[in-house]
């Protein structure tokens, strides 16, 4: 007879070993169990107690016949606590859309380089780029590295085959004449004029612009926060009949790393810190952007979040910002396929054209490799950045004939 709370514990008459059975979450409706064997009952009960605690903490346990699909379900539960929400969401989509459909039923310990290449080939067969295949390869490599560390497999199959090459992307950017023509167009009664001017004249990222707060605008722009959408979960399990999880009364976000800084705005929109503290920066505010922002701030209607830019008083989502950019770009007569993020490339080109030193350009754009936190500039650095931005301002505001003559 087994004691209270011991579960399915018995002595296998064939092997002579004490055996315990733990019920695991079903997969695709199929019952799953994990067996644990020990020479004596005391050791078995101790092992089962530890396994049950691990099951409670992780939601699943590895089994001798664990599949790739089961492994990735376990791995994602671990990874969500270690990476930024958007990184995790990228992992989740890659696993769901590409890895599981190709090799999900394969036993984890039977994985080979052929299976890894099957994922690559499946992605390319869908007409997707080799860059997508490369992202899937990197996701598998990170995941299987953890499987090796935990003793689930003996070696990482991703190391046995070459990773796909990143597809060569042709990025288009506005040149100086086009950038000025675009700004001239939107400054004529367009409510988003100051938003686009901020993007083009500072190289700020999309989220840094739409997340800019009034109290971070002064003699300089404080670009230490960005607006991002974070995936919500139904805290009620979907029983509230809300189509969007962000509207669920018990809504919750995925787990986030302990050092992940964020502030809630509305729904699934948050202020978050840039990916690296090296991206936090202070950009001196000079004309013409200074005058444009001052005019915008004096005319705008205050909002409860203190945002500089809104959509009729509401926060602007990242996707909406990109759609608005393309709409205004087309209305100005520019047919280039320029993404909003590519406005940063235009800024870099303009800063080089203005003759600014490369390290200063890196500081302005946020590409510097220095370890100094960009939110705490020394007076010497700020003075140098100010002189650089003033030099940039002169180039932007001088007549076109003079610019053409200097370039020639």
**Model pLDDT, residue 379:** 38
What pLDDT does 233 receive?
Answer: 61
pTM for the model stands at 0.66
Q: For residues 303 and 313, give the distance between their C-alpha atoms in angstroms, rounded to a whole number.
A: 6
State which residues form the domain around 50. Answer: 8-58
Is 249 within a domain?
Answer: no
**Is the per-residue pLDDT at 65 higher than 90?**
no
Of 17, 40, 58, which residue is a domain's last? Answer: 58
Strands of 18-27's sheet in order across? 8-11, 18-27, 30-38
What gap in Å lies between CA 22 and CA 117, rounded to an integer? 35
Judge whether 379 lies within some domain: yes
Residue 347 resides in a domain: yes
Terminal-residue alpha carbon distance, the chain: 95
Sign of CA pseudo-dihedral 313, 316, 317, 321? positive
Do residues 123 and 202 share a domain?
Answer: no
pLDDT at 262 over 70: yes
Q: Is residue 183 located within the same domain as residue 318? A: yes
Domains held by the chain: number: 3
182 plus 330 within the same structural domain: yes
Instruction: Name the domain boundary from 58, 82, 100.
Output: 58
Q: Are both 140 and 180 inside the same structural domain?
A: no
175: which residues sit within 8 A by CB, 6+ positions away?
346, 349
286: confidence class by pLDDT, cuts 50, 70, 90: confident
What pLDDT score was predicted for residue 215? 94
Q: Looking at the domain assignment, is residue 168 inside a domain?
A: no
In a shared domain, residues 34 and 81: no
Residue 269's pLDDT is 92
* Residue 240 forms part of a structural domain: no
* CATH number for the domain harbouring residue 139: 1.10.150.130
């Amino acid at each position: 007879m087994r004691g209270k709370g011991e579960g399915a514990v018995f002595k296998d008459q064939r092997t002579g070993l004490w055996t315990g059975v733990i019920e695991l979450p079903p997969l695709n409706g199929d019952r799953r169990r994990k067996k644990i064997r020990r020479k004596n009952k005391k050791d078995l009960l101790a092992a089962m107690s530890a396994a049950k605690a691990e099951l409670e903490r992780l939601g699943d346990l590895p089994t001798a016949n664990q599949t790739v699909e089961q492994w990735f379900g376990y791995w994602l539960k671990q990874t969500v606590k270690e990476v930024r929400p958007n990184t995790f969401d990228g992992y989740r989509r890659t696993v769901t859309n590409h890895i599981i459909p190709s090799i999900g039923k394969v036993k984890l310990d039977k994985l080979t380089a052929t299976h890894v290449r099957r994922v690559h080939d499946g992605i390319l067969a869908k007409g997707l780029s080799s860059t997508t295949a490369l992202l899937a390869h990197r996701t598998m490599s990170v995941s299987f590295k953890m499987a090796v560390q935990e003793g689930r497999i003996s070696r990482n199959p991703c190391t046995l085959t070459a990773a796909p090459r990143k597809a060569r992307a042709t990025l288009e950017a506005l040149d100086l004449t086009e950038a000025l023509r675009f700004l001239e167009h939107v400054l004529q009664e367009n409510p988003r004029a100051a938003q686009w001017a901020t993007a083009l004249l500072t190289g700020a990222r999309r989220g840094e612009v739409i997340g800019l707060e009034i109290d971070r605008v002064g003699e300089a722009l404080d670009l230490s926060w960005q607006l991002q959408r974070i995936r919500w979960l139904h805290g009620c399990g979907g029983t509230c009949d809300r189509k969007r999880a962000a509207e669920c009364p018990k809504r919750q976000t995925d787990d986030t790393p302990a050092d992940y800084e964020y502030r809630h705005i509305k729904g699934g929109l948050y202020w978050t810190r840039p990916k690296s503290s090296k991206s936090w920066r202070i950009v001196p505010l000079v004309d013409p952007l200074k005058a444009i922002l001052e005019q915008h701030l004096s005319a705008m209607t205050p909002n409860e979040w203190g945002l500089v830019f809104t959509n009729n008083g509401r926060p602007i989502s990242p996707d909406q910002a990109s759609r608005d950019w393309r709409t205004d770009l087309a209305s100005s007569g520019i047919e280039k396929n320029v993404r909003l993020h590519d406005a940063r490339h235009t800024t870099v080109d303009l800063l080089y054209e203005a003759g600014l030193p490369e390290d200063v350009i890196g500081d302005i754009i946020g590409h510097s490799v220095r370890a100094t936190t960009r939110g705490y500039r020394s007076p010497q650095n700020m003075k140098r950045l100010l002189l650089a931005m003033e030099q940039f301002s002169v180039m932007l505001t001088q007549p076109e004939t003079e610019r053409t003559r200097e370039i020639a």
